[in-house]
Amino acid sequence: MNPTSRYLRCEGRELHYTEWGDANEETVIAWHGLARTCRDMDDIAEHLAQRYRVICPDTLGRGLSQWSPDPAREYCLAFYVKLAVSLVDQLGLDRFHWLGTSMGGAIGTLAAAGPLRGRIRRLVLNDNGPQLADAAIARIRSYAGNPAAFDTVSELEQYFRTIYKPYGWLSDAQWRRLTETSTRRLPDGRVTPHYDPAMVMQFTHHDDDYLLWDAWDSLDLPVLCLRGESSDLLLAQTADGMRTRGPRAVVIEIPDCGHAPALNTPAQFALVERFLAGA
């Protein structure tokens, strides 16, 4: 099964998204992480498309979506939520599920606590919670704001295999796809990750953008959190708090993964599928 590539103008900005299983009645919004693209969701989207319509957006400034002309204001969770609301409204979605990796989970949390309250039926957070470890945020900022560039795509793939090793097991073909779907060529001919480096302004202009306990405590929907067992971003004590506060999430640790599980194995598919089905 291959996805359909589509574009919509949301809040005055063009967003790209892929769509899987468009004949299915129920919908899942699958939103990627900070410096990634919608194509990270290919494996789980293809699996879920047996039952669901799956919409996988590229966030503003990532992949094939427009880069923000006002990065200091627009690269933040509040604006991403506005984009999400515009997207689902234009798609005519009344109620739907949300699956978000890292930043995509934070967008889903804020949306479910705010303008999409009552419309998000079930929320799956892939290695994301209402508080993130400062050291991990610093690590991500260190490479996201100054993306590496290489002469060849093969060198870029080796770089991705290094920094994304915590994703867990990926086949050689999956590493190659991850690389080719998140590569752009610079004017000097080198290749670099496919995002706007200015998106790191989220951390310099929006203090505590990822401190979401107030939103978390207001949630009243079923939540599943998949935590990489060695994640340095979602700490074990935060996951414990997620079990006892707010919606009292079901938290499952994914073995042999850090931040964040790649959502590309049958075991991970089954966890998400059972939860969305109400099991």
Q: What are phi and psi of 148, to 5 degrees?
A: -70, 155
188 vs 140, more confident: 188
Count CB-CB contacts under 10 A for residue 211: 12
Q: Closest Cα partner for 278 from 240, 217, 224?
A: 224
pLDDT score of 133 more than 90: yes
What is the pLDDT confidence band of residue 234, given thresholds at 50, 70 and 90? very high
Sequence-ordered alpha helix ranges (H) in 91-133: 103-113
pLDDT in the model for residue 8: 98
pLDDT in tens, 16-59: 999 999 999 999 999 999 999 999 999 999 999 999 999 999 99
- Mean pLDDT computed over 157-181: 97
Q: Give pLDDT, residue 144.
A: 81
Amino acid at site 90: Q
Lowest mean pLDDT: which of 64-78, 128-142, 247-261? 128-142
- The CATH code that applies to domain 4-134+210-276 is 3.40.50.1820
Q: Is the pLDDT of residue 214 over 80?
A: yes
Question: What pLDDT is recorded for position 135?
Answer: 87
Backbone torsions φ then ψ of 234, nearest 5 degrees: -100, 100
Minimum mean pLDDT range among 10-19, 143-152, 206-215 = 143-152
Say how far apart CA 142 and CA 124 lie, in whole Å.
Answer: 27
Task: Give yes or no for residue 143 having a pLDDT over 80.
Answer: no
Please, what is the Cα angle at 234 between 231 and 240, to 5 degrees? Answer: 115
pLDDT for 196:
97
Residue range 186-190: mean pLDDT, rounded: 98
pLDDT in tens, 73-105: 999 999 999 999 999 999 999 999 999 999 999
Grade residue 6 by pLDDT with cuts at 50, 70 and 90.
very high
The pLDDT of residue 121 is 98
Q: What are phi and psi of 134, to 5 degrees?
A: -60, -40
Assess contact for 72 and 205: CB atoms under 8 A: yes
Q: Return the domain boundaries, the chain.
A: 4-134+210-276
Q: What is this structure's pTM?
A: 0.97
pLDDT at 139: 81
